[in-house]
Every structure is written in C-alpha cells, then in structure tokens.
C-alpha cells in the first residue's frame, strides 16, 4: 500500500513554486526537516549558533529586530553561512498591516528583509491585500510567503473560520504563498470529505516543537517532532530546545541538540512514509 504522505523528493519534482522547490530540495539534499529559530540578542551569539547548527538544518529562522548590535555586516555574514552550510533563510517578521505599509517594511528600513530572506511570514488578519502588498516586493525576487493559519500558543484566536479563510487566501495566491505556519496539514481545510485537496501542496512549518518540555511560562506549547509530522507538518521549528534558555550560550550543547532534533525530525518523516 502506498503512503498517504508523499515524499519530499516527489514534491520537489512537481512543485510549481520555485521558492517551495528550493526548500524541498534543500530538505532532501541535507536529509533535514529542521529549522532552527535563533532568537538571541547579541550578534556574536547569533552568528556562532548559526555556524554550529548550519550543517543540520534546511532553514534558519531569524528575528533580526531583536539583535542589539545589528548592522549590515551581520546580513553579509548570514548570507555567507547560508552558502557555506547550504540552508535557506526565513525572517519571521509576522507582517500584519495594510499592503502599502508591509511593502515598505519588507523592502526598506534598516533591515531590508526582502533583499536577503528567502521566506517570510504574515498574519492574514488584514485580508488578501497583505499578500498583494508583500508580493509586489517579494515575487520579482523569487521569494515565498507563509501565512500564519494557526499559532502554537495557549488561547490562540487563529482557529476555525479564521484558519479556513487563511487557507482560501493562500489558494487564491499560489504564485506567492508557499504554505503556512500551522500545527497540521492545511491541504484539506475548507474542503468536503470527498475532496481530498490533492491539488494543493502547501508547505507546513510548525513551531512549538520540543523533546524535553511541554511549554514555557508565557503561553508557548510544545509537541514532539513525531506528533507534528504525523499531523502533516513538513518542517519543525525549534528554538530554545536547541540554543537553551540561559543567559550564555553553550555552543557544544547547541551542536548536540541540533543533531538530536535533526535526527528526530528525519526519523519521524521516514516513519510517516510507512503510514
């Protein structure tokens, strides 16, 4: 019997979006569905962590606005590391404004996100104009957008009809929206039970992944790589589970944890191909 899940390799061959294909091809090349979220505030820690986790990841996720000593050399080094270790870059900007404003936030300012980030994300709350605003900047550069269809936090409002509307917005903009931040596959959302949603191949990137704890003191909730992969997630996003919670970064432990999460994510993927 064939699996209800299609391999990354098959999907990479037939995906219509070049941004989605790049991510799927990187996943296959590196045998990694791990995205490390590097939420630290010092440039030196940020770059040290990325250099160490680089070999184990398909994607590095950034919040550049939290870096205290940010300057343009950080972006140049990040791009060098992306080439050295063969990973893509995802600036987790969570745009949420009108089209005109998000286009400026994406292209301009200190960070010039569109010029270096292969993937970014947006809240669907303003409606489809947020996609057209971001697409006016990102599409000519071959970038891809993820919509936040669900969140990992306790009491999230992104559920039910809101999630369905987010998926409909994505279906109407398949030329730029490559997938979702969500907790499960979105391909069948809003479709009847006889319609399998097979024509959709949205990528699902899932935060709120941890092997050792179930949450934090601020509403974050964690599930294991196996739980999220079995629900149809494609990429696990792991932050503190890898770089730790302390004021200082233990770089040896970062490497051990990155290897551990890469292995856990990949074995969950291989297991689900048997389902």
Say if residue 263 is exposed, middle or buried (CB neighbours under 10 Å; 0-12, 13-18, 19+): middle
- Taking CB under 6 A as the criterion, which residues in 15-44 touch ligand 6AU? 37, 39
**Residue with smaller CB distance to ligand 6AU, 140 or 155:** 155
The answer to whether 239 is annotated as binding is: yes
- Write out the H or E segment, with its range, that includes residue 92: strand 88-95
The answer to whether 212 is annotated as binding is: no
- Pick one of 91, 92, 165, 201: the residue that binds ligand 6AU (CB under 6 A): 92
Size of the site for ligand 6AU (CB under 6 A): 19
Is 65 tagged catalytic?
no
Question: Running DSSP on this structure, what letter comes out for residue 34?
Answer: E
**Residue with smaller CB distance to ligand 6AU, 22 or 37:** 37
Is 97 tagged catalytic?
yes
83-100: b or e for each residue (b if 16 or more CB lie within 10 Å)?
eebebbbbbbbebebebe
* Piece of the chain touching ligand 6AU by CB under 6 A; list 6-14, 79-87, 149-157, 223-231: 149-157
Residue 187 contacts residue 201 (beta carbons within 8 Å): yes
Task: Based on the shown chain and the rule CB under 6 A, indicate whether residue 208 belongs to the binding site for ligand 6AU.
Answer: yes
Rounded Cα distance between 146 and 152, Å, is: 15
**Residue with smaller CB distance to ligand 6AU, 109 or 219:** 219
Q: How many CB atoms lie within 10 A of CB 10?
A: 12
- Residue 194 Cβ, how far from ligand 6AU at the closest point, in Å? 31
**Residue with smaller CB distance to ligand 6AU, 8 or 261:** 261
- The angle formed by the CA atoms of residues 239, 245 and 248, to the nearest 5 degrees, is 110
Region of 75 (left: φ > 0; alpha: ψ -120 to 50; beta: rest) is alpha
Task: Based on the shown chain and the rule CB under 6 A, indicate whether residue 144 belongs to the binding site for ligand 6AU.
Answer: no
Residue 60 contacts residue 235 (beta carbons within 8 Å): no
- Residue 213 Cβ, how far from ligand 6AU at the closest point, in Å? 10
**Binding site membership for substrate: which residues?**
39, 61, 152, 220, 239-240
Q: Which residues are catalytic?
A: 92, 94, 97
Q: Which residues bind ligand 6AU (CB under 6 A)?
A: 37, 39, 63, 92, 94, 121, 148, 151-153, 181, 207-208, 220, 237-241
């Amino acid at each position: 019997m064939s699996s209800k899940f299609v391999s990354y390799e098959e999907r990479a061959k037939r995906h219509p979006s070049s941004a989605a294909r790049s991510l799927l091809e990187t996943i296959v090349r590196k045998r990694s569905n791990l995205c490390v979220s590097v939420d630290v505030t010092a440039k030196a820690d940020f770059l040290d962590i990325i250099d160490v986790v680089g070999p184990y990841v398909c994607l590095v996720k950034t919040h550049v606005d939290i870096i205290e000593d940010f300057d343009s050399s950080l972006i140049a080094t990040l791009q060098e590391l992306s080439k050295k270790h063969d990973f893509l870059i995802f600036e987790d900007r969570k745009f949420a404004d009108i089209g005109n404003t998000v286009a400026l936030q994406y292209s301009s300012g200190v960070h010039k996100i569109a010029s270096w980030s292969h993937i970014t994300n947006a809240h669907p709350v303003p409606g489809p104009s947020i996609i057209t605003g971001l697409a006016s900047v990102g599409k000519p550069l071959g970038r891809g957008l993820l919509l936040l269809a669900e969140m990992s936090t306790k009491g999230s409002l992104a559920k039910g009809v809101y999630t369905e509307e987010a998926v409909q917005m994505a279906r109407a903009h398949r030329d730029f929206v490559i997938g979702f931040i969500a907790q499960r596959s979105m391909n069948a959302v809003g479709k009847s039970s006889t319609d399998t949603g097979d024509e959709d191949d949205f990528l699902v990137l899932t935060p709120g992944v941890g092997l050792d704890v179930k949450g934090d003191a601020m509403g974050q909730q964690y599930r294991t790589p196996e739980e999220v992969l079995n629900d149809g997630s494609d990429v696990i996003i792991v932050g503190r589970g890898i770089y730790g919670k302390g004021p200082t970064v233990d770089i040896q432990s970062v490497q051990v944890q990155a290897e551990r999460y890469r292995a856990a994510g990949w074995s969950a993927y291989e297991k689900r191909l048997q389902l």
